Amino acid sequence: MNWYNYRFPLALFALTLSLKLIIAPRIVAQTNQLENNSPNVIITPPGDNTPVNTVGAGSRNAGSCPQDKITEESVGFQVLMPPYSETSEERPNFSLQVPNTVAKKIFLSLRDATEDYYYQTTISLPSDPGRFNFSLPADAPVIETNKEYTWFLSLICNQDVEPNDPTLGGVIKRVEPDPASELNQN
């Protein structure tokens, strides 16, 4: 065999191997330096005041938009129904507590487990804070009996829904109407 034909591939292999030996120790040395940093890190929170309202789950917005003026008596964006609800209505009702907020609309998302049913819309908020009730809009498809749907409601604090907007969620299931309760209503 003629070794002359293999000269270029051998030179390329030798160059690659030498670069690996030269560069790799530097990378290892740099990562070791980063790992040896002191575990004593002091984080100073911004501002001098403690938050007016605090809630669990790592959220500090207490159900309000960042631009809202929060007082001790402020009640945030809340759902006034259980997180898991059953209804006999084909267009379920939602009941909320709406704070005094800069938000003018809420975003509603409703979907089933397989996402065969998936509906999203925005709903205008009343100008006054307090209890707000609404039904699934008429343009939405009705929900099916004996099927669970996951819903989410978000205050739209700016022009569009953003990840930090206060969001509520739950599950609603449509059930057959109870014949006994229908007789009592008549």
- pLDDT per residue over 66-104, tens digit each? 888 877 777 888 888 888 999 999 999 999 998 888 999
Distance (Å, whole) CA 128 – CA 99 = 8
- Examine residue 148 and state whether it is found in any structural domain, yes or no: yes
Amino acid at 72: E
Across the chain, what does the average pLDDT equal?
Answer: 78
Torsion angle of C-alpha atoms 47, 166, 164, 52, degrees rounded to 10: 0
- Examine residue 83 and state whether it is found in any structural domain, yes or no: yes
If DSSP codes are grouped into helix, strand and coil, which group holds residue 123? Answer: strand
| Domain of residue 107, CATH code | 2.60.40.10
Q: How many domains is the chain built from?
A: 1
- Examine residue 61 and state whether it is found in any structural domain, yes or no: no
Number of H-type helices and E-type strands within the chain: 2, 8
**Sheet (strand 147-155) strand order:** 84-87, 167-174, 147-155, 105-112, 118-124
- Examine residue 105 and state whether it is found in any structural domain, yes or no: yes
Residue 126 half-sphere exposure toward CB, CA atoms < 13 A: 11
- Examine residue 127 and state whether it is found in any structural domain, yes or no: yes
Which two tokens mark 179? 């014949």
- pLDDT per residue over 114-146, tens digit each? 888 889 999 999 999 889 999 999 999 999 999
Residue 83: predicted pLDDT = 87
Q: Which helix (H) or strand (E) holds 181?
A: helix 179-185
Residue 55: predicted pLDDT = 45
Segments forming the whole domain that contains residue 109: 78-185
- Examine residue 4 and state whether it is found in any structural domain, yes or no: no
- Examine residue 39 and state whether it is found in any structural domain, yes or no: no
